[in-house]
């Protein structure tokens, strides 16, 4: 029996969190959902944009997949967007809302097509959403105060190229919500299935190219602890990616 539940996908901002946007979904009105977040905060949340549709869950998932490289933490719905990117979010919703009548048979295809169209338009307008990362630049992964790993950014395919193989252990850390551990275990299982880990526990990257959208998962697995890659990786000037993206 088809699910005709209607919901909304929304983007919120708050003056207390400059550079961060919250992406989420609700079956309530966006105004009611928005008011639930204001408890105990000096500043109210503001709606940047919202769209109502049947396949709202698929749309929210598609959005979070598109912007995974900007996610603050795996277990949070906050994404880094310096002020100049707020218009990109509005543009994305305009493109997506052109076709709000989804059904079970075509929802996935339509959302995928709209996401691709939106991403191409955004990249065209802003010379790529990754313009703040320097092509060919070397970035270092820090574990506490020590350099653990280095990688060069390749802008042609939005990937990082690691400088060495990793000694990968089965994830066994704890985190408050379990989201980082679940994601790390999933990636580790993928390594095992693909035969990428030898008998000594060394992960052999076939070409050492890691897609940017996968960097948080690889960082967590490499360090074997809950981590935010935006805060763990730094450029040659010792600036974290978080600082670069918010500058």
Dump pLDDT digits (tens) for 173-232. Answer: 887 656 678 778 888 888 888 888 988 889 887 767 887 777 888 898 999 988 878 788
Q: Do 96 and 159 sit in the same domain of this protein?
A: no
Whether 119 shows a pLDDT value over 60: the answer reads no
Q: Do 114 and 171 sit in the same domain of this protein?
A: no
Domain boundary among 78, 105, 126: 126
Q: Is 132 inside any structural domain?
A: no
Whether 141 shows a pLDDT value over 90: the answer reads yes
Q: Is 87 inside any structural domain?
A: yes
Q: Do 14 and 122 sit in the same domain of this protein?
A: yes
Confidence of residue 242 (pLDDT cuts 50, 70, 90): confident
The two structure tokens encoding residue 217? 């998962």
Q: Is 131 inside any structural domain?
A: no
Q: Is 88 inside any structural domain?
A: yes
Domain boundary among 91, 106, 126: 126
What is the Cα–Cα distance from 213 to 14, expressed in whole angstroms?
A: 25
Q: Do 105 and 150 sit in the same domain of this protein?
A: no
3-state SS, residue 26: strand
Domain residues for the domain of 25 are 7-126
Q: Do 155 and 191 sit in the same domain of this protein?
A: yes
Q: Do 143 and 183 sit in the same domain of this protein?
A: yes
Q: Do 116 and 187 sit in the same domain of this protein?
A: no
Whether 133 shows a pLDDT value over 80: the answer reads no
Strands across the sheet containing 138-143: 209-211, 159-162, 146-154, 138-143, 233-234
Q: Is 16 inside any structural domain?
A: yes
pLDDT at 28: 85
The residue that leads in pLDDT, 65 or 235, is 235
pLDDT at 140: 95
Whether 96 shows a pLDDT value over 70: the answer reads no
pLDDT at 198: 87
Q: Where are the alpha helices (DSSP H) in the chain?
A: 30-36, 56-66, 86-96, 107-126, 179-194, 215-223, 229-232, 241-245
The residue that leads in pLDDT, 58 or 75, is 58
Report the predicted TM-score, pTM, of the whole model to 2 decimal places: 0.54
Tell me how many domains the chain contains. 2
Could you report the per-residue pLDDT of 18-52, keeping only the tens digit for each?
Answer: 778 888 888 888 777 777 776 667 788 888 888 88
Q: Do 152 and 121 sit in the same domain of this protein?
A: no
pLDDT at 125: 46
The two structure tokens encoding residue 57? 């869950």
The region, left, alpha or beta by phi > 0 then psi within -120 to 50, assigned to residue 17 is beta
Q: Do 231 and 183 sit in the same domain of this protein?
A: yes
Domain boundary among 126, 147, 167: 126
Q: Do 19 and 81 sit in the same domain of this protein?
A: yes
What is the overall mean pLDDT for the chain? Answer: 76
The region, left, alpha or beta by phi > 0 then psi within -120 to 50, assigned to residue 195 is left
Q: Do 180 and 117 sit in the same domain of this protein?
A: no
Q: Do 80 and 164 sit in the same domain of this protein?
A: no
Whether 104 shows a pLDDT value over 50: the answer reads no
Q: Is 175 inside any structural domain?
A: yes
């Amino acid at each position: 029996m088809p699910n005709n539940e209607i919901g909304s996908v929304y983007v919120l901002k708050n003056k207390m969190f400059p550079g961060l946007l919250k992406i989420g979904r609700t079956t309530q009105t966006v105004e009611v959902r928005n008011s639930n977040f204001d408890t105990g905060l000096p500043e109210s949340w503001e709606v940047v944009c919202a769209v109502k549709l049947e396949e709202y869950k698929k749309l929210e998932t598609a959005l979070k997949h598109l912007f995974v490289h900007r996610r603050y933490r795996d277990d949070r719905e906050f994404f880094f967007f310096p002020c100049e990117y707020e218009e990109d979010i509005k543009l994305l919703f305009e493109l997506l809302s052109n076709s709000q009548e989804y059904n079970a048979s075509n929802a996935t295809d339509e959302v995928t097509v709209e996401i691709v169209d939106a991403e191409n338009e955004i990249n065209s307008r802003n010379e790529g959403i990754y313009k703040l990362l320097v092509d060919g630049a070397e970035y270092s992964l820090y574990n506490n105060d020590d350099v653990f790993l280095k990688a060069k950014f390749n802008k042609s395919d939005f990937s990082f190229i690691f400088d060495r193989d990793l000694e990968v252990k089965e994830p066994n850390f704890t985190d408050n919500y379990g989201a980082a551990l679940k994601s790390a275990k999933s990636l580790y299982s993928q390594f095992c299935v693909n035969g990428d880990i030898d008998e000594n526990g060394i992960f052999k990257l076939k070409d050492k190219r890691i897609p940017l959208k996968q960097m948080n998962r690889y960082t967590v697995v490499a360090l074997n602890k809950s981590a935010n890659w935006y805060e763990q990786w730094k450029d040659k000037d010792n600036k974290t990616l978080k600082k670069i993206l918010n500058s």
